Amino acid sequence: MDPTNPYQGPASDPLPPGPGPEIVGVARRRPAGHGWLWWKRAWRLTAANRVLWTLALLVFMAVLMGVSLVGVFVPVLGNFAPTLLGPVLSAGLMQLAWRRWHDEEFDFGDLFVGFSRRTGPLFLAGLVQVGLQIVFTLLMVVLTLALYGGEIAALFSASLGGDPLDPGAMAGIGGMSMVKALLLGLVIVSLSLPYMALIWFQAPLVLFGERNGLVAIKESLVAVLRNWRPMLWYGLIPLLVLGVLAALVAVLLALAGMLFGPDSLAMMLVGLLMVLATLVVMLFLMAVSTVSVYASFRDIFGVADDEPDTTPDLV
């Protein structure tokens, strides 16, 4: 513009630029104390909109249950429908967490952002999860047959009219089964941990980091292994919280039973109210858990070089 032109309009400052694109880097090691920090950040992001977050998780769970019910009518493959659409649906919760992180208004429309943004890669990520789930299921079948093959064969033979099992043999099978059940449980937990590590950051890596499904599970596993100490601390906190909540509910129910009697109508109403309250609390805690995944994702993958003092203070 010509500063000497008397007919030009008044100069005005340009609008402030919007947030620039965020770069999702490689996984970095974080201190063990960050396991608690992720929960603290997630609480800040959800507490300011606790009602909206609870409703969002209710909608999310309703959609997931609807997908599961539809999958019942499709033989075999229908069982994997929730897993197949899991990343697409989870992307909506990640987008809501991103919105609140940037102090933007809560928008329920973001719940379905996975159907309009990065839909193909998110769907392929779900397909990768289905493959992992099939491998996990096959391993469980093989281990179960290896541990209980003899017992299953003996019971199957007896049911078809073969030699009946005497009480001593049944007792022996029962005793051995207890030991093998414990061993099988330990093996299942051991296999579940790497499975969860593979998919833990998959959805945000696909959505925000623009990775494909296979690269995302690899980077997710590396991220969890590099940060096993904060992840261990991170995993212990919800166990402690759930233990305290379970004890609190048990105490309240015991007090109500003492006051109203175990078979009274008032006790039934108290039990119903406790169930509803527990459901609401669990939905909110699920929201906090979901946002904690996003908080750990930003911290570990260095999104915008976030550090503890850059966490938005929403409360």
Question: Residue ranges of the domains in the chain?
Answer: 34-65+75-310
The 3-state DSSP class for residue 145 equals: helix
pLDDT at 296: 95
Average pLDDT over residues 118-144: 88
Interaxial angle between packed helices 228-260 and 265-300, expressed in degrees from 0 to 180 and rounded to the nearest 10: 170
Tokens 């904690």 correspond to what residue?
292
Structure tokens belonging to residue 68: 């599961």
- Residue 198 pLDDT greater than 80, yes or no: yes
Residues in the chain: 315
Hey, what long-range contacts does 133-141 have (CB within 8 A, 24 or more apart)? 133/80, 133/83, 133/195, 134/80, 136/191, 136/192, 136/195, 139/191, 140/188, 140/191
Asked if residue 99 lies in contact with residue 207, where contact means CB atoms within 8 angstroms, the answer is no
pLDDT at 151: 59
Asked if residue 69 lies in contact with residue 266, where contact means CB atoms within 8 angstroms, the answer is no
pLDDT at 56: 92
Structure tokens belonging to residue 301: 């993958």
| Separation CA 149–CA 153 (nearest Å) | 6
Residue 308: band (very low, low, confident or very high) from pLDDT cuts 50, 70, 90: very low
Structure tokens belonging to residue 189: 């937990």
Greater pLDDT, 180 or 117: 117
Average pLDDT along the chain = 80
- Residue 79 pLDDT greater than 70, yes or no: yes
CA 143 to chain centre: 26
| Separation CA 87–CA 94 (nearest Å) | 10
Asked if residue 113 lies in contact with residue 206, where contact means CB atoms within 8 angstroms, the answer is no
Residue 97 burial (10 A CB sphere; 0-12, 13-18, 19+): buried
Cα dihedral 98, 104, 106, 112, rounded to 10, equals: -50
Residue 17: band (very low, low, confident or very high) from pLDDT cuts 50, 70, 90: very low
Cα Rg of the chain, angstroms: 26
- Residue 10 pLDDT greater than 60, yes or no: no
Tokens 């261990």 correspond to what residue?
232
CB atoms within 10 A of CB 117: 14
- Residue 42 pLDDT greater than 80, yes or no: yes
**pTM to 2 decimals?**
0.78
| Separation CA 165–CA 7 (nearest Å) | 105
- Residue 111 pLDDT greater than 70, yes or no: yes
Q: Determine which helix (DSSP H) or strand (DSSP E) holds 241, and give its type and residue range.
A: helix 228-260
pLDDT at 155: 52
CB atoms within 10 A of CB 231: 24
Asked if residue 293 lies in contact with residue 200, where contact means CB atoms within 8 angstroms, the answer is yes
Structure tokens belonging to residue 11: 């100069």
